[in-house]
Amino acid sequence: MSEEAGTRADELTLETLDDDGALSQALEGISGDRGDFLRKAALGGAALLAAFATPAAAAPSKKNDTAILNYALTLEYLQAVFYTEAIEIGALSGALKEQARIVGGHERGHVKALRGVLGDAAVKRPRFNFRGATESPAAFRKTAVAFEDLAVAAYKGQAPFIDSKAYLAAAISIHSVEARHAAWIRRLAGVSPAADAFDRPFSESKVRRLVSSTHFIVRTRRRMTPPFTG
């Protein structure tokens, strides 16, 4: 990925990370047998763009809740390991390091909370290779902006499908913290912390496509060097 200084605001989007989506299969593996639900959820995503359109697909249920929380857990793993690794590598300083330290702590907290709720049903942490994004301030900033905006859109896309009031309250309470993170890192990256009056939801399929395109999730169990315990 480009690490040019002075990247323009409109380049700081997930689309800049969107390559060829070659690792979608890897993420598919993580998704396990939830594919059917996730496809249904994706159908509902378009309807959510219209205010007060009742999601037509994927009736909320306990089973769907588990799938949604595992989907959220995968995104939280991604973020938690990213920040933890960036701090370990030590290329960040000043305000950026402080952001990584605090936000990393939150993401690890989200992982712990979701794993606690899911118990035995929790998906395992995948292996990640951040391909340099944790090794320079410029690459870190750009990737962190993308991750945080993505997390906001992902939680927003799933909230209306959550059946349990307790799970919904938990997801909603994480959702707005991801938005705080997004605004924080955007300001540090020199782009508007709040670009629009309304944040858009992303369907699960869109999120999965964007994450896949980063190639950050690797399927193999081969140990990446250096190893991080996240």
Interface with other proteins, residue 109, by CB under 8 A: yes
Question: Looking at 33, 196, 225, 226, which residue binds other proteins (CB under 8 A)?
Answer: 196
Segment lying near other proteins (by CB under 8 A), choices 30-38, 85-93, 100-108, 207-215: 100-108
Question: Looking at 24, 28, 60, 122, which residue binds other proteins (CB under 8 A)?
Answer: 60
When the beta carbons of 88 and 163 are compared against other proteins, the nearer one is 163
Interface with other proteins, residue 194, by CB under 8 A: yes
Residue with token string 């942490």 = 125
Interface with other proteins, residue 40, by CB under 8 A: no
Quick one: angle between helices 35-48 and 62-89, nearest 10? Answer: 90
Interface with other proteins, residue 200, by CB under 8 A: yes
When the beta carbons of 198 and 220 are compared against other proteins, the nearer one is 198
Question: Looking at 52, 124, 222, 229, which residue binds other proteins (CB under 8 A)?
Answer: 52
Segment lying near other proteins (by CB under 8 A), choices 65-73, 138-146, 193-201, 205-213: 193-201
Report how far residue 206's alpha carbon sits from residue 120's, in angstroms, rounded to the nearest whole number. 27
Interface with other proteins, residue 184, by CB under 8 A: yes
Is 136 in a helix, a strand, or coil? coil
* R_g (Cα) of the chain, nearest Å: 17
Residue with token string 């959220």 = 72
Segment lying near other proteins (by CB under 8 A), choices 1-9, 79-87, 164-172, 211-219: 164-172
Q: How far is CA 91 from the centre of its chain?
A: 22
Is 127 in a helix, a strand, or coil? strand
Is 111 in a helix, a strand, or coil? helix
When the beta carbons of 54 and 220 are compared against other proteins, the nearer one is 54
What is the secondary structure of 52-92 as a DSSP string? Answer: TPPP-SS---HHHHHHHHHHHHHHHHHHHHHHHHHHHHT--
- Residue 123 neighbours by CB distance under 10 Å: 19
When the beta carbons of 121 and 194 are compared against other proteins, the nearer one is 194
Distance of closest approach, residue 25 Cβ to other proteins, in angstroms = 30
Report how far residue 223's alpha carbon sits from residue 219's, in angstroms, rounded to the nearest whole number. 11
Q: How far is CA 90 from the centre of its chain?
A: 22
Question: Looking at 2, 6, 54, 229, which residue binds other proteins (CB under 8 A)?
Answer: 54
Beta pairing, strands 217-218 & 127-128: antiparallel
Interface with other proteins, residue 56, by CB under 8 A: no
List residues binding other proteins (CB under 8 A).
48, 51-55, 60, 102-103, 105-106, 109-110, 113, 152, 156, 159-161, 165, 168-170, 172-184, 187, 192-194, 196-201
